[in-house]
Amino acid sequence: MSTRHDRRLPLEGAPNFRDFGGYGAAGGAVIRRGVLYRSGALGRLTETDIDTLNGLGAWTIVDLRHEGERIAAPTPARLSLAAVHSLPMGSGNGAAPVPRPALLTVPDATASQAVEAIKASYRRFVHEHRDRFTGLFDVLLDAPSGPAVIHCTAGKDRTGISVALVLLALGVDRDAVIEDYCATRDYLDMEWRNRMLAAMVGDPGQVNRRVADVMFDAHPDYIGASLAEMDERHGSPDAYLRDVLGLDAGQLERLRQRYLD
């Protein structure tokens, strides 16, 4: 299996833009490299970054952000695109540049309260956005040849759950799914974090730093909460994909033929 760091594309304006191919998958196959990517927002890509991405082909983009986030950081016009699919997820205000977590400006909120709130949100996502997840698989099944990227603003929560479902559908084991999620820790630095906080709050003095530390982490228990919800409510992630998202055996086979080597 490839290391975490060699998955990342060397982009100045999108530090969490990385390939999630290379993992072992169903039947001893491996997810093809260079076709499936995950990222945060693309609005800060440099001209060199755009040249790098254009050299890889015409992109299919799955954008999980709300309208306000898309306006604040639009997809660069010069990026070579096959299509952009908007599948907004999350419970934030659709007009906000970046949704603000409820506890972020509560002075006496504790880290443990923040952890439980995040885990609860990861559990809710499994149900609240099942139509979006179904739409995601429709896009991946019908996309033209060329690379595809799934992204939100940070590339951690909405993207993390979405990519986990794609990996599971391709037959990747749970440990590798969690590893891919946690790899976000390696890419999002303090500069990025401060920029996000400024977009969410404006005044850094309002931020509860205990909550911020928890919120910006990509802890295995967070994605684990989504997986546990699928286990407890539906029996397994495979059953969730089949019974809730409606992925039948034929669709799973098509997905695997397309993205596995």
- CA 184 to chain CA centroid, Å, is 10
Q: For residue 132, which amino acid is it? A: R
User: Does the pLDDT at position 130 exceed 50?
Assistant: yes
Q: Which of 169, 160, 150 is nearest to 260 (CA)?
A: 169
How many angstroms separate the CA atoms of 73 and 250, rounded?
A: 37
Q: How confident is the model at residue 1 (pLDDT cuts 50, 70, 90)?
A: very low
DSSP H helical ranges for the chain = 47-54, 67-72, 111-128, 130-142, 158-169, 174-182, 190-200, 209-215, 220-234, 237-239, 249-259
Tell me what percent of the residues of the chain surpass a pLDDT of 90. 79
How many angstroms separate the CA atoms of 243 and 248, rounded?
A: 9
Mean pLDDT, rounded, of the chain: 92
pLDDT value, residue 3: 43
pLDDT value, residue 94: 53
pLDDT value, residue 96: 52
Tell me what percent of the residues of the chain surpass a pLDDT of 70. 94
pLDDT value, residue 100: 67
Q: Hunting for tokens 């730093």 — which residue is that?
A: 209
pLDDT value, residue 87: 97
Q: Which of 17, 27, 258, 25 is nearest to 144 (CA)?
A: 258
- Is residue 176 a contact partner of residue 237, using CB atoms and an 8 Å limit? no
User: Burial level of 51, CB count in 10 A (0-12/13-18/19+)?
Assistant: exposed
Q: Please give the CATH architecture assigned to the domain spanning 5-259.
A: Alpha-Beta Complex (3.90)
- Is residue 135 a contact partner of residue 63, using CB atoms and an 8 Å limit? no
Over the stretch 51-110, which tens digit does the pLDDT of each residue have?
Answer: 999 999 999 999 999 988 899 899 999 999 999 999 999 765 555 556 667 788 899 999
User: Does the pLDDT at position 219 exceed 60?
Assistant: yes
User: Does the pLDDT at position 194 exceed 90?
Assistant: no
Q: Quick check: helix, strand or coil at residue 187? A: coil
User: Does the pLDDT at position 114 exceed 70?
Assistant: yes
pLDDT value, residue 99: 62
